[in-house]
Structures are given as C-alpha cells and as structure tokens.
A and B are shown apart, each in its own frame.
Chain A
Amino acid sequence: MEKLLIKGAHVLDPSRGIDAVMDLLIENGHIAALGPPGSLVAEETLDAHGKRVVPGFVDMHTHLREPGYEYKETIRTGTAAAAAGGFTSVACMANTQPVNDNRTVTEYILEKARLEGSANVYPIGAVSKGLRGEELAEIGEMAEAGIVAISDDGQPVRDSHLMRRALEYASMFGLPVISHCEDKSLCPGGVMNESFVSTELGLNPMPNACEEVMVARDILLAELTRSRLHVAHVSTAGSIHLVRDAKRRGVPVTCEVTPHHLFLTDEAVRSFDTATKVNPPLRTAADGAALREGLRDGTIDAIATDHAPHEQSSKELDFSMAPFGLIGLETAFPLCFRLVKEGVLTLPQLIAKMTIEPARILSIPKGSFAIGSDADLTILDLEKSYAIDVGKFRSRSRNCPFGGWEVQGKVVCTLLAGRIVYEAENAREHSVQAARSSQCLP
C-alpha cells in the first residue's frame, strides 16, 4: 500500500469547512485521512509547513484545441499548463476540428487525456452538429461517453427554438447548457467593447447589450423549460443584474467570470496588443466593479479561465484579423488572489469558486477532500511574490496580456491522484521539502 503524508500545511477545503493546520494522508492516490499535526504517519512525507493545501482547482471553461488545432495547444500541453496553474481538472470546449459533437470525438479526447494528461479532462459536447446552430448534436451518446455539459461556445445558438430544445433535451441527462451569450447581429465586425475607447480608436464596437440580450433570452428559456443554464464568462454589469434577478426568482441558472474580465479593462486595448482581443471583450471599470459585487453576493458561482490558446503568427495579424482569445490557466490563481487582498472575497470563498462550485455545476466528484476521493491537490505559497514570465509557460501558446505583472501567491506543487504533476522551480529548496524525494517525486 502506497502512502504519502502531506505534513504541516494549512489545509483549506471549503466544501467541508476545513480551514486549519493539519496533516493529510494519501493512500493509493486517494484521500485517506485528515488529522491534527502529528496524528498520522507514513513512510513518505511531503513537508508543507507555511503553505496552504487546497483541493486541485477545477476550470470549467478551457480550450485544449485537440483534435485539429494541435499547433495552438494539445491535451498534453494544455493539461501541463493546467497543472502549473494548480488546476487538476479542466472541462474542454467542443470547438475542435472535428467538433466534439459525437461520441467518437469525446472518446478520443478522454483516451488522449488518459495517456498524456497532467490533469483530469472533462469534455463538453456541442449543442448542435458542427456548431452550426441547426440541429441538435448526439447529446445522449456523448453523455454516455462522458461529457459533463453541452455548449456551442464561440458560436452562440442564434435560433431561440433550438436553444429551448437543447435545454429540454440536455435535462434528460442532467447536463447543464453552457451559453456563450452574444447576439452577433448586434455587433457586426465588432472587435472590442463599445465605449469611449472604441470611439477614440475607431475599432468596431461590441456594446454590453449584445451580451445581455442573449443572457436575458437564455434565462427566460431556462425558466420556461426548468432546465439548467450556465452563463459563460459574464462581463457586463447588466448581465450580473439579469442573473441576480433570475436567481432570486428561482431560475436554475449559474454563471462564471474570467480573471481577465476582472483585472483588465478596455483601456488595455489602447496598446493594440492582440493579446487583449477577447470575446466577450474587455469592458469598463464600472463593469469590473459590478463583477466584483457579483462575486461578493454570490451571483457569480465560479471563476473560469476561458483559456484560449492561439499560435503567435495569428496574433501578429492586425487587430481585426487576429483571433479572439487569451490564455489563462497559468495566471488565474495569482491574479484572483488579488480579490482576497482587495477584500472582495475571503480566501475560502475564492477557493470554493475555483474548486467545489464549478465541480457542483458540472456534477463531477472533484474540488473536495472528501475521504476516498482522488488525491488532487494544490500547494500554494501565499507569501511568494513574483513577476509573471510568459516565456516559462507550459502552454504551447503565448497570447497572454499579463506578462511582467507583479503578483503574489504562487502554485508551488500540484498533485493528481497523489502523484506530483507540477513542481515550481526551486520549490524543493524553498518550500516543499520531501523527506524521501527519490520515492515521492517522479
């Protein structure tokens, strides 16, 4: 029997209300026991004094790009980036080539992840065949194969009737419908937020309303069908208002926010840096304040990265031709830790929104140190300050607007089912002390 003891860390598991210095025993890759310091023993130990140990983060909105766009990211590199960011589970969107709209693609992704992954991969199936918004994909077969939600992310379902049917049909399998809310007819050729900045730059604008119109529609359809809706990457004050109001009425709706919508505004586009071109676009400071309020009062359930890798050459195009999207797995935690320092969230609240909350939305047994669950965990050094170095990312892509940012709170080690899948440089000397490193560190 293989045992590993994580010693002396401050264990934080919001799902179980644990927030104390404890020892954590891993047996055969599972959480075996938690106890007061010194109460548990194992031959192998990992000394994590002064560190926080939290359940591995869950990202419910990632683009792994495989199959089809392996020059942007692969399951291998994308999950390595996840591990480096402290994520042990990621849900990957269906806009691959071919689209994940049938069980064969779902099975391929799962098999590839089993062979090469440094994180658990949960595929999200397409709502419609080929993301064309015309007819439903084989949702039931994909559910059998292992999808955890359906979404036409990036190609919002225009047809309201199809959206209604998708919500109804998916409910049969207990799957939420994740909606990228954007009425594209309201922002023809749009590349950035509509504001004084778009006026000055002369870039085609995307008003807040083009998101909110669809948030409102989808909430009404979720209410009509009593089916679960999850609104992806809310970015506007109006969306927060709509979701808050819907939750008050008891509509089964949840939503997520990305770090970039919290920590950047459309002012960043003035650089014409294509890494700031993202959809939904970076909004105003007033929207950022509303998102914070949404986090504070629980309107926003989860933090998700919308990690969207793109090869360098596509981002060297001009602003209108460059694709939307930026990568976020390796910067999410240190950025979001600012929310704790700002007083928006407590640390347990932040960790919950990166672990148990997204796991609940996707109905996956993750984000918790429940006894017997997989030993997926992340060790954090909250005191450590450093500058974000895009050059060191594990992701295959580099489209990140946070390079050079000074941040605090570092992922020092990530374990997947008890196995170390990421360890920060110099972590051995400075933080994680392995008593018998040759055995416990691969």
Chain B
Amino acid sequence: METNAHFARKDILGLEDLSAEEILTVLDVARSFREVSEREVKKVPTLRGQTVINLFYEPSTRTRTSFELAAKRLSADVVNFTVSESSAVKGETLIDTARNIESMHSDIIVVRHPVSGAPQLLARAVKSSVINAGDGAHEHPSQGLLDLFTIKEHKGKFEGIKVLIVGDISHSRVARSDIYGMTKLGIEVTVCGPPTFIPVEIGKMGVRVTCDFDEALAETDVIMMLRIQKERQHGGLYPSVKEYARFFGLNRDRLSRAKSDVLIMHPGPVNRGVEISPEIADCTQSLILEQVSNGVAVRMALLYLLSRGAYGKAAH
C-alpha cells in the first residue's frame, strides 16, 4: 500500500481534531483495505510485530470485534483488556492502568470509556498511540469515519448531501463525531429529536435543529437513526418507548414520504421496534450491515496510518 498523503499524528481522539484532508486520507486508505477483507486469505503483513491493546471500560461487542479483526488482518498481535467498572472504583486510576499496559510494550491502545475525555487523559500519559473507540457522549471517531465512508460509496460525493440524524443527540458520541466529520466535508446536517434529547446551543456546531421528523424527512438523502440509549439516561427524558416510536420511530409509513433513494443508516445495535421498525432495518435501502463491514476497513486504515505516522516507519 502506498499513499502520499500526509498523516503525522500520534493519536486519533476525535473528528473535531482532524482536517478535511486527513479525513479524506483515511477514507482513501480504507478503500484500498476493504479489498483485503474480501480475499480468501484475509491478511496482509503490514503491522507484523506490532502490539495493539483493546482497552475497554464499557461493554462493546461490535466495536471491539471490529478493531480486533482490523488489527489481525494487518498481522498485529492483539490483546483484549476489559476493565470492569469495579476495579476502577477500587482506586486504580486510568493513568495507572495505562502505564501498566504500556509496560508490556504496546504500540497502539484502542480505548473505550464511559466518560468523555478519558482517551485525552490517556494519550497525554502514554507514549503509545491512542485511538478513541468511544468516550462518553463525546466522540466515536472510527464510527464517524465509517459513516462517511459508507455515504461516499453510495452517493459518490459529500458536498450538498443532506443528512438527518434522529434520536438522543445529547447522549450520542456518534452524533458528535458525525457532525464534526460531515460538516467539514460539506454535508448539510439536521439533528432531530424531542427537546429533551437536544443539548443546548448545538446549532453552533453548524447543524439545523428540528423536532418535526416528518417535515425534515422529505428533503433528506440519508437518515441516521440513533439507538435510544437507556443506560445513559437519568430519567424523565421521554414518557415511554411507545410514545417515542410514535413521534421519532422510522417506519414504513414515514419512509414512504421520504425521497425514493433515501439511505438508512444506524450505528447499531438496533432496538427493533423502537427507533426503527423491523422491516425497515432489513429493507434494501438499509445500509446497517454494510456499515459494519466498512467499519473493519476504516479501522484497518486508522491502525495503519498511526503505525506509520507515530513512528515514522514505512509499512511496506
């Protein structure tokens, strides 16, 4: 693999930090890696001899597996390190844990943490590269990148595309990374949900805000449905799942009023029958599973670019 694009970073903590050029570089590299996953022998020697640690402070199957596969397909050694909340409560600080892990000579640490800013703390404390695999309600950059990758595959461009993000914007790290990445590439973003799900002053991030799903639906090219994250709510944000689905669920009736070529995306895992009805999740316009496949390619690109950028060594 050769790319001339400049990508000299130690860490990938969020799409807020990345320039449009850097984002496009990741997407270009991901495109060439996607082919690796389609081969009979799904492996290249790019990261041979490097150690990737998946440090997960939150349960996650999809993202952890995706990073693990990405690292393995690049021939890196991967260790999954799941930290129970209880050991954190017992008093070992995040920084202590990270220093311990680094003593095992890790090259890249992939971290998922329930609190915003934890990857930033970590990145300052360790020499290894750090990839944020989701921090609190802050950022989930690899998800944002794979969403962009998927849109590009189908629409062929970003400029002027209209994306509608629907759901619990307040508690969504996906929404924030999507907004940073999409607005940088010229996508017009609208966020939609009940006011209890819309954080203050979000319009300053360069998005339109609405509570009227039906009105917003008509003009949109891509609908991004967010999972209703019950575990992060402090109560009183919506009266019932039934009522939420009535006003903000994507069903056949609503879809019939959208553009005929509208694309449906969801970062998963899907609450079928809540934010999205089962038949819609599986319809031809749904890109939900394709997002998952693309996720591996995007994460391969991130690992590759960091392993090159941080240590200045050519992978091939």
Contacts and interface: CB of A to CB of B under 8 A. Distances in A.
Q: Name which of B88, B96, B138 has the most chain A CB atoms within 10 A of its CB.
A: B138
A188 B234 contact: yes
Contact of A195 (B88, B93, B173, B201): B201
B234 A272 contact: no
B151 interface: no
Contacts of B303: none
Contacts of B199: 198-199, 205
B94 A316 contact: yes
Given A200-B205, A205-B199, A319 B117 contact: yes
Interface string A256-282: 000000000000000110000000000
Contacts of B93: 313, 316-317
A292 to B, nearest CB: 23
A350 B171 CA distance: 43
A49 to B, nearest CB: 46
Question: Which bracket fits the contact residues of A?
Answer: 20 to 34
Q: Name which of B93, B135, B137 has the most chain A CB atoms within 10 A of its CB.
A: B93
B95 interface: yes
Nearest to B235: A188
Contacts of B91: 313
B104 interface: no
Interface string A298-317: 00000000000000010011
Interface in A357-390: none
Given A189-B234, A196-B201, A202 B88 contact: no
A268 B208 CA distance: 27
Interface residues of B, number: 31
B85 to A, nearest CB: 10
A318 interface: yes
Contact of B116 (A271, A316, A317, A319): A319
Contacts of B135: 202
B94 A203 contact: no
B5 interface: no
Contacts of B137: 202-203
B183 interface: no
A237 to B, nearest CB: 16
Contact of A200 (B16, B94, B121, B235): B16
A318 B234 contact: no
A318 B202 contact: no
Nearest to B176: A202
B138 A201 contact: yes
B29 interface: no
B118 interface: yes
A29 B199 CA distance: 58
A192 to B, nearest CB: 9
Interface of A: 188-189, 194-196, 198-205, 271-272, 313, 316-321
Given A189-B234, A203-B137, 10 more contacts: A196-B201, A196-B204, A198-B199, A200-B176, A202-B171, A313-B91, A316-B95, A317-B93, A318-B94, A318-B121
Interface of B: 16, 88, 91, 93-96, 113-118, 120-121, 135-139, 171, 173, 176, 199-202, 204-205, 234-235
Going nearest first, the 4 A-B pairs with the smallest beta carbon separation are A202-B137, A272-B117, A202-B138, A199-B199
